[in-house]
Amino acid sequence: MKRNLQSQKTMAKGTIHVSPREGRSCRLESVREQVSKIAGISSVEANHVSHALSIEYDPKKITLDQIRKKIEL
């Protein structure tokens, strides 16, 4: 049986560090929500200890640098 490799998406994973801002404890969640709405993003997880977002995305639609620019870090 042949597998249709063209229909399988190749997803990439990356991490973006979000610097905490004084008085804005919810900043990481706000950025996570913003990233989750970007086209080409399949999942975003926030790590509150390391202040980082783990992102799974389609590299054919967007790059990690483009994601960073959209959220203005």
The CA distances from residue 23 to 10, 14, 20, 36, 41, in Å, are 39, 27, 9, 23, 28
pLDDT of residue 19: 84
Whole-structure pTM value:
0.77
Domains, the chain, with CATH or none: 9-71 (3.30.70.100)
Cβ atoms < 10 Å from Cβ of 42: 13
Report whether pLDDT(1) > 90.
no
**pLDDT, tens digit, for every residue of 6-62?**
445 689 999 999 887 765 557 899 999 999 999 999 999 999 889 999 999 999 999
Token digits of residue 73: 């870090």
